[in-house]
Amino acid sequence: MGQVFSDTSKKDDNEDSMYRSFTEYFKKIKVENKIISPETIQSIELNLKKGNMQETNTVIMTALKNIDSVPINIAVTGESGAGKSSFINALRGVKDDEKDAAEVGVTETTMKITPYKHPRIKNLDIWDLPGVGTLKFPPKDYLKEVEFQKYDFFIIVSATRFTKHEIDLAKIITLMKKNYYFVRTKVDSDLDNEKKCKARTFDQEKVLQQIRSSYLDTFRNNKIDEPLIFLISNHNLRDYDFPALMDTLIKDLPVQKRHNFMLSLSNITEAAIDRKYSSSKQFIWLEAFKEGALATIPVLNTIQGSDMEKLEATLYHYQVLFGVDDESLKVIAKNSQVPIEKLKEKLKSHSLLENKEEETLRKMLLKYLEKFASATGGPLATGLYFGKTFYFHHLFLDIVTEDAKVLLRETYSKD
């Protein structure tokens, strides 16, 4: 009887630790960065508190399945010459001259709906829509023709001014209970021209404000509430309003779609990389809680051959998501005119599993476990263990994230 009581107490302590760890972890994450809804978090917490691991598993499995499978559809429309194709390529993290890029520099206007898949995120599609002014029916019929209900939001692109057609389209989109965003491209060209004409009095911030104000005047004159206007350059995404546009889209998307959209972001700033890191970390924790806590210390587990294959696949998965895999490095090397071997010398993840001796991996994991516990006060601090997979995921994610930042600094140091 005493043994049964002891086992029961241990089980209760373990479940209580899981509840406290889950609650503390998700409490720290900002609302706009969470990848599961408050209702789902509350349901998981409630089931963990009750010790109902089967129901906890079901709730988390459903949430993860939704994240993996729910489609994200972005509609981009605008007149010919507005830089719409280059903008679509920018959203996909694809150069204009790469394979499967949206074709740029085409004089004729797009007359059909064309979907473009994101190269890394399988459920993210960006749709190139015909400009509303090119078709022979009003905006309301235009939305029916393009099946407006399937899009999460509309981005209306212009390089000069927004026409009455596009403003009327925005009004109808609002009536249809959808979000839209106005994007003004090619502001770098405007600034260059202004600088050439008025070299002595040129003021970049003043010119940008003048562009923004001219649009706001147009909206006021057409009796439309002042929308957010994002001034961008398709070829200099770090500059101007492109990062702010991405932040806005993430905030406005349904919570279950945030994870994959965040993973789709190009590594144009450290903030974008950190967002991908935070989102991936949440996913790892959810996977760990789904599987439940293991009672053994992970570093004492044997690393089998099949484990090594899984570890290699896991590391490669993060390398692809963060753009530090071989294919991504080839593109970066070509664009920066730096040999790929030189780039790899600066990165840790490419040599991480070269030495496959179990003892080496065990030491590496032990060192990371100590760092993880002291930095987070996480599972180890409460005696809670999720098994070696959980910690290797964290280790790989940390290393690949740092590699992405090294590449970012390397790339932009040459500008």
Q: Work out how many domains the chain is built from and give that number.
A: 2
Helix runs in 28-75, H state only: 38-50, 53-69
Does residue 258 lie within any of the structural domains? no
Same domain, 76 and 206: yes
Same domain, 345 and 214: no
Helix runs in 147-226, H state only: 164-175, 187-197, 204-221
pLDDT in tens, 100-138: 888 876 554 456 789 999 988 999 999 998 877 666 667
Does residue 84 lie within any of the structural domains? yes
Same domain, 210 and 339: no
Domain ranges, residue 76 = 71-253
pLDDT in tens, 196-206: 888 888 888 89
Of 221, 253, 285, the domain-final residue: 253
Does residue 316 lie within any of the structural domains? yes
Torsion of CA 258, 260, 266, 270, to 10 degrees: 60
**At residue 354, does pLDDT exceed 90?**
no
Of 229, 253, 277, the domain-final residue: 253
Q: Distance (Å, rounded) from C-alpha 87 to C-alpha 163? A: 19
**At residue 382, does pLDDT exceed 60?**
no
pLDDT in tens, 268-279: 999 999 999 999
pLDDT at 2: 45
Assign 318 a pLDDT band (cuts: 50, 70, 90).
very high
Same domain, 57 and 115: no
Same domain, 227 and 277: no
Does residue 324 lie within any of the structural domains? yes
Q: If you average pLDDT over residues 4-29, what whole number do you get?
A: 68
DSSP 357: -
pTM score, whole prediction = 0.83
Same domain, 189 and 222: yes
Does residue 262 lie within any of the structural domains? no
Same domain, 337 and 405: yes
Q: What is the CATH number of the domain that holds 84?
A: 3.40.50.300
Q: Distance (Å, rounded) from C-alpha 314 to C-alpha 279? A: 16
Does residue 259 lie within any of the structural domains? no
